[in-house]
Amino acid sequence: MSKLLIAATAGIAMCGLLSAQDAGDWPNYGRDAGGSKYSPLDQITPANVSKLAVAWTYKTTDPLGTWEETPLVINHVMYFASQKNRVIALNADTGKELWSYDPKTPRVSEHRGVSYWPGDAATAPRVVLTTAARLIELDAKTGKPVQDFGDNGEVNLRIGVADDFPLARYGITSPPAIYKNIIILGPATQEGPSKGPSGDPRGFDAKTGKLVWRFHTVPQPGEPGNETWGPGGWKGRSGPSAWGGMTVDPVRGMVFMPIGNPADSYYGADRPGTNIYANSVVALDALTGKLKWSYQIVHHDLFDADVAAPPSLVEATLNGKRVPAVAEFSKVGMLFVLDEMTGKPIWGVEERPVPQSDMPGEKSWATQPFTVKPPPLARLTMTKDEVASISPESHAYCLALFEKYKTLGAFTPMALEPRLSFPSSIGGGNWAGVSFDPKQSYVFVNYSNLGQTGQMETSPAGAPMPYRNKGAYGRFMDKEGYPCNQPPWGELAAIDTKTGNVAWKVTLGSFDDLEAKGIKNTGALSLGSSIATGGGLVFIAATADSKFRAFDSKTGKELWMTRLPASGNATPITYRGENGKQFVVIVAGGQGHLPGSTPGGDVVVAYALP
Strands 291-296 and 53-59: unpaired
Q: How big is the CA angle at 27 (ends 314 and 203), to the nearest 5 degrees? A: 80
Query: From the candidates 93, 304, 306, 602, which is the catalytic residue?
Result: 304
Residue 350, number of CB atoms within 10 A of its CB: 11
The DSSP string of 105-124 is -SS---B---EEE--BTTB-
DSSP letter at 174?
Answer: S
Amino acid at 417: E
What is the Cα–Cα distance from 352 to 334, expressed in whole angstroms? 14
Q: Do 197 and 161 contact (CB within 8 A), yes or no? A: yes
Which among 190, 431, 176 is positioned nearest to 308, based on CA atoms? 431
3-state secondary structure 234-245: CCCECECCCCCC
211 burial level (CB within 10 Å; 0-12, 13-18, 19+): middle
Residues of 409-425 as b/e, b for ≥16 C-beta within 10 angstroms? ebbbbbbeebbbbbbbb
What is the Cα–Cα distance from 149 to 138, expressed in whole angstroms? 9
User: In 259-329, at which residue ranges do the beta strands (DSSP E only) sit?
Assistant: 280-285, 291-296, 312-318, 321-329
40 burial level (CB within 10 Å; 0-12, 13-18, 19+): middle
**Phi (first) and psi of residue 535, to 5 degrees:** -80, 0
Which among 224, 434, 260 is positioned nearest to 338, based on CA atoms? 434
Cβ neighbours for 245, distance < 8 A, ≥ 6 positions apart: 29, 112, 174, 175, 177, 186, 258, 309, 310, 431
SS3 521: coil
The DSSP string of 474-508 is EE-B-TTS-BSBPSPSEEEEEEETTTS-EEEEEE-
Strands 38-39 and 530-533: parallel
Element (H, E) at 15: helix 3-18
What is the Cα–Cα distance from 304 to 452, expressed in whole angstroms? 11
Residue 518, number of CB atoms within 10 A of its CB: 6
406 burial level (CB within 10 Å; 0-12, 13-18, 19+): middle
SS3 267: coil
Q: How far is CA 94 from the centre of its chain?
A: 29
Using only C-alpha atoms, what is the Rg of the chain?
23
Residue 181, number of CB atoms within 10 A of its CB: 17
Q: Give catalytic status of residue 304 as yes or no.
A: yes
Which positions are annotated as active-site residues? Answer: 304
